[in-house]
Structure 1
């Protein structure tokens, strides 16, 4: 897009800035010398510096105004020329579109020129508000400096307003011319469709002879060009053909490499899934058609690049290539949908013989429509009579109408008894209606309308059918569990293991991407068939890419999409860098796994923040304009998001200080388990019952947390044991000590220790204390030692007593003795005493009752 005036504007502004810098530096040197002389000289220097600074700033403002005035004047002159051209191009739609595109470019340039004043105008208004209104009568006079400053600012604002007013006036004029062009194009399109031709002249006997003569002229022209090119320009011709074939082969082999399983159906698969049939139909149409289109387009481009195309040959060759691509695409699409030779890969449930007929009829319809388009270009190039154009279009449109009606008359389906039946009634009547309208419009002389309808039936119908297949493919991919069975999922699983949930998410994203691609590629093609031109689509693209102003916030759709793309790329790069750092760098060191996890998590959060900031910057959103949003967010944090922010900050502290790390065994309140993941909001702990507990980080910061494996995994295990009062305490102590020392997992330093803990209510209490190098193995060690104690006590005849209670009843008074007193009573006989010893209860305890009469 040309931008001469704008580049000149920027150059003038930069030039003024460059010229002012040496001037200001010299002024600074002068001021420094004056200050070193005397205070009075310093005062004069300050006044002189202010004067010179104001003069330099005024010069910059004048340069800005002058440069933008030049831009507006240049735009106005170009608008005058384009407005004059509009009236001369009433019947040429392409020229009108070109004028409209140029006007829209000038409108964007004018908008940019008007924006150049906005920052300075805002500063002027702010300064005027600070100075206030002039003082009225009866009020003290204000300083002359204030009055002079207000006058200067008002003059500057007036000059800006004049230019902004001129820009707005010119913008309104441009909009008016664009609206006029749109109305002229609508009228031209309506006249083309509603114009009626006299078909009687086209039905004359001499028309066939003229048609033969025109074909002879085309043959002579093309043969002369081919003979000259082969004889005198053979090397460039071979080079153009080689490059075109190379481009087509690259696309063909690349497409087969990427979509090899979809370009050609698998003959061994007798019952393919619906997704497989849709994918084969879509890619077996697009890949070969795109390769053939690239070959023809490359051939035309390289022939033109090597200057092999003549002025009279280029339009004919382009029209011929367009017709060939259209017919080939319709043929491939019909074969992909109907699959006349492979019933199991057929998308529509039609009979095999009907599928063959439908492929032939669809291809003939496209060929006849393409022939009409090619002959129209031939007549235009040879300046043939209008009767030839009318005759060819009349015959072609009538044939197309008959072919459409024949497609509606085919019986492709089977009824319940297996007999052939017609299409559904609505679809069949629709085909009959379209065919009848085409034939009736052509016979009544509305050739333009008949040609338009026939072209839309073929071209738009093919595009819509392809888009519909794309939408069906997207819907089939997003079905739960469908993508996991696809060819692409098998390809992905070769490089990395994905679970079903991840594959479903990938399928959902891929389905959305297919929908976007179908719309982006299909809608412009349909609009081109309905009378729009590439210039219209380009203009709409510029409008979408242009800035959208909401107050002081400016953004664009393209900018937002670019920001999202940049963020996605940054996100995946961060994930890749995390994996590379953890798997290739930290794994080779002796770094603890918890430290690796903390570094990996921190790098992930830093990468996401950077990706977000870069994405916002790429979207063109100025973060300084979000001050109000930031203030509201801060207020919300102060009231409603305290816990979230507290947990977030606590998570950062945990990652930085690392009081515990992933893999540590911690005890936090009533939760005991292994740390699995530390996030910025919460920490995931897995208990020994395999229960996952999500603890907010603030609770781990504000409360006491026990960490069994903080520095190392060394830890002590206590195993309490009680023996009967009749046991030899020293022998028991020696046995327990020997058992502790004999276990292979018990450390020798610190050495095991057996504590005589005290005299219990029913037993002599001991406690075995051993140290383990890995505290997480304590359960195994405790089991081994307990089994060894049972076996050793059984061999030594040492009793492990039940808890006991002695109940004494004397003179109606209940007394309960426990502990040593109970032991004494059992050792000494009591007169008039009758002892009752019940059997052990369900809890394994034994009580002894002693009842004494009066």
Structure 2
């Protein structure tokens, strides 16, 4: 009866929750389950269609890439759908833990509402587990199809390179006539298109050309305005620095090439925007523009490196005549490769015979191989006596081997492999050379004092208050920025040349931009780069504000120079801290995950050397061994507190009463020191509790363990433990032992657990006793009494037992009798 009365409030709460909240909760999860089930069904249907497309488009690399991108998008949707289940599952598991395990046989029966609630939650959890299993199965299937696509693309690429053609058929006399016919077809089609456009759409053509020209000129003149000294060399400078030559080579290649690229791309875009491109002209025009850009880029790069007419600006130490020949050979190599690419697009568009494609590629690749060997045969260097000398042996053999491999592969009929080698020799070689110049430029800028003597630094000194140190640091940032830009532009271009597609790069960029989870810390590469950029901007803004405040505000007052310097330094520290915090927030990193790192970075080292050798040596030992650091909670003798500062003479400890205690380092070395947060902040906390005699100790143990496990700051591993400590004078003693990831939070956890214990014991009717003493005083004189002697006026034993029975349950009273004489 007593058990039923105690459980009545709990039953009323459960009935209210089940009657009022359960219908709404049941309706919500049901709709959610149905929505997620339909979503997964739709994704599975799309995956079925994609799988059929893979089988149908096994020979088309572009279609396979498109299917792969779509599948990876579906995989992300499946992953997001699986994440959507977690909050509800966590809620269900928490609710099941609150309800507890079903009553075992022999235990009192639990209320029917509790049983129904547990059954409903278990059914809902099973439904979620089924959907999670379906999502995992679908994710595995998508990944298997993606792997299959990767395997198909590798096989397709391998077959393209290893396929052998009949070269004899391509060398027949009819091939020349077929080539003339195809060129005539191209001429007729292009001339017909131009005639139609000029006759009927002239205004649109002129407007498209004008807009493209304006875009190109804006880039060209803007680049010359900003980097004029880097694009055109200074004729009065007879001995330019290595940084000046590198900068000239880099910017004189990139700015004009980008201008031509913008003009061609804008022309194509505006022609398509004004509906001037036909479906048979657009591929030809795009291929032609690509070839023009390739040839021009190779020309500008070779001209910037070799500088045939400006020996003092030349990057390579070659002779002027050899530089002219190398420039001509490099341009002709690019023209041959571009011609082969353009004609291949023409043949593909017109559906020409295979023999014509083989013949054109054979001639073009053989010419490229011969040109590469000709470059290796040039004698561009000077020996000690000033006579022409060939390239270094390894580089010359590399060029000969590459050219011979292209020619041999083409003559044996491996046209695909020969074309691949020739294109990589020209296009990839040009990209790698440009990247190498970029890396050299960045390295030259980051060298000490180099950036401070540059043209850009001189302008910054004119308009800002940067000193030489700030300019040198800015040079480091500029070098890092150049390296980053070179990698971000050059690597994708090389990957595109090696058979990858834009869709592949897009998929990789999505993966890189996605969040990476490492334990409880989640971050993304893009977020980290953004945070670094924000921190750099905040750093330079802080330096500018320091200079402005010191030079414009405090300089006008009669403030002491020491105070001014303190204010300037303090503002600098505050600005850097703010910039770091904003950068970390922009990077998407939770500041709570950086507590240990922040504690290590806040380590203070004092340099006030004193004459006490022992303290000095002890301070060096402490700094070297680091038995504790700033921010650690230590116990040294009678002092307990947080380490605030470690210097070479003494260590400052702040107690929890905010008292600063300065301990000599020799005491910390020679005496035992307890460190609660030495390697981490993990620690164990104990909470003693006593209950009255007669309480259900197993139920008490169960309640205490449940309270310990339910606290969010208590670790699950090592798991909490409740110890039945012993039988006390007034209580049955228990002890809660829990582990915290941050032992400094133990006071908050102790408060929470103690409040929970009081509430739980009141709900269960369990009493927490306190020591009691009953003293009976009788009238008369006191006298000593033998142990065997019984006083005449002493109450009978049965009356004493009856009096003890009147003591409230759960309290044990210790009685002391004083008998009169």
TM-score (norm 2): 0.70
For 1:123-162, what aligned pairs fall within 5 Å after superposition? 123-162=91-130
Tell me the residue number matched to 1:316: 284
Moved more, 190-199 or 542-551: 542-551
Ranges in structure 1 where 5+ consecutive residues have no aligned partner? 1-39, 647-679, 684-692, 704-854
| 1:77-134: CA deviation from partner (whole Å, max 9, x where unpaired) | 1111111100011111000000000000010111111111112222322333343322
1:640 aligns with 2:628: yes
**What is the CA RMSD across the aligned residues, in angstroms?**
3.5
| Cα drift, residue 69 of structure 1 | 1.7
Q: Does the C-alpha gap of structure 1 residues 262 and 169 become closer, same or farther in structure 2, counting only changes over 3 Å?
A: same
| 1:617-648: CA deviation from partner (whole Å, max 9, x where unpaired) | 333334567789899999999993458999xx
1:411 aligns with 2:379: yes
Q: Tell me, what secondary structure is at the counterpart of 1:269?
A: coil
| Cα drift, residue 274 of structure 1 | 1.1
CA contact (8 A) 1:644 1:681 kept: no
1:488 aligns with 2:476: no
1:227 aligns with 2:180: no
CA contact (8 A) 1:409 1:422 kept: yes
| Cα drift, residue 450 of structure 1 | 0.4
1:122 aligns with 2:90: yes
1:79 aligns with 2:56: no
CA contact (8 A) 2:546 2:572 kept: yes
Tell me the residue number matched to 1:195: 163
Task: Identify which of 511, 524, 533 aligns with 1:543.
Answer: 511
1:251 aligns with 2:219: yes
| Cα drift, residue 497 of structure 1 | 4.1
CA contact (8 A) 1:474 1:515 kept: yes
Q: Indicate the structure whose relative CO is greater, using CA pairs within 8 Å and at least 6 residues apart.
A: 2
Ranges in structure 2 where 5+ consecutive residues have no aligned partner? 1-7, 606-625, 635-643, 662-821
For 1:730-769, what aligned pairs fall within 5 Å after superposition? none
Q: Does the C-alpha gap of structure 1 residues 439 and 642 become closer, same or farther in structure 2, counting only changes over 3 Å?
A: closer
| 1:18-76: CA deviation from partner (whole Å, max 9, x where unpaired) | xxxxxxxxxxxxxxxxxxxxxx9xx9999657622232222222232222222211111
1:448 aligns with 2:440: no
Q: Aligned partners of 1:413 and 1:696: how far apart in 2?
A: 66
| 1:180-199: CA deviation from partner (whole Å, max 9, x where unpaired) | 00000000000000000011
CA contact (8 A) 2:603 2:630 kept: no
Q: Aligned partners of 1:473 and 1:573: how far apart in 2?
A: 26
Q: Aligned partners of 2:235 and 2:227: how far apart in 1?
A: 16
CA contact (8 A) 1:340 1:355 kept: yes
Q: Aligned partners of 1:148 and 1:584: how far apart in 2?
A: 76
Q: Aligned partners of 1:630 and 1:697: how far apart in 2?
A: 18
Q: Aligned partners of 1:580 and 1:586: how far apart in 2?
A: 9
Q: Aligned partners of 1:354 and 1:635: how far apart in 2?
A: 61
Q: Aligned partners of 2:82 and 2:597: how far apart in 1?
A: 27
Tell me the residue number matched to 1:782: none
Moved more, 273-282 or 587-596: 587-596
Q: Does the C-alpha gap of structure 1 residues 209 and 352 become closer, same or farther in structure 2, counting only changes over 3 Å?
A: same
| Cα drift, residue 585 of structure 1 | 7.0
| Cα drift, residue 583 of structure 1 | 6.2
| 1:592-626: CA deviation from partner (whole Å, max 9, x where unpaired) | 88887777666666655554444333333345677
TM-score (norm 1): 0.67
Q: Does the C-alpha gap of structure 1 residues 168 and 347 become closer, same or farther in structure 2, counting only changes over 3 Å?
A: same
| Cα drift, residue 563 of structure 1 | 2.9
Q: How many residues align?
A: 621
For 1:718-797, what aligned pairs fall within 5 Å after superposition? none
| Cα drift, residue 140 of structure 1 | 2.8
Moved more, 373-382 or 115-124: 115-124
Task: Identify which of 344, 356, 364 aligns with 1:388.
Answer: 356
CA contact (8 A) 2:167 2:413 kept: yes
Q: Does the C-alpha gap of structure 1 residues 456 and 275 become closer, same or farther in structure 2, counting only changes over 3 Å?
A: same
Q: Does the C-alpha gap of structure 1 residues 644 and 125 become closer, same or farther in structure 2, counting only changes over 3 Å?
A: closer
Q: Tell me, what secondary structure is at the counterpart of 1:340?
A: coil
Q: Tell me, what secondary structure is at the counterpart of 2:167?
A: coil
CA contact (8 A) 2:602 2:630 kept: no
Tell me the residue number matched to 2:402: 434
Tell me the residue number matched to 1:565: 533
Tell me the residue number matched to 1:63: 31
Q: Aligned partners of 2:461 and 2:253: how far apart in 1?
A: 27
Q: Does the C-alpha gap of structure 1 residues 81 and 571 become closer, same or farther in structure 2, counting only changes over 3 Å?
A: same
Q: Tell which structure's C-alpha radius of gyration is larger.
A: 1
CA contact (8 A) 2:305 2:315 kept: yes
For 1:441-590, what aligned pairs fall within 5 Å after superposition? 441-576=409-544
Q: Tell me, what secondary structure is at the counterpart of 1:549?
A: strand
Q: Tell me, what secondary structure is at the counterpart of 1:640?
A: coil
CA contact (8 A) 2:291 2:342 kept: yes
| Cα drift, residue 492 of structure 1 | 1.5
Tell me the residue number matched to 1:333: 301
Q: Tell me, what secondary structure is at the counterpart of 1:200?
A: helix
Q: Does the C-alpha gap of structure 1 residues 595 and 62 become closer, same or farther in structure 2, counting only changes over 3 Å?
A: farther
1:371 aligns with 2:339: yes
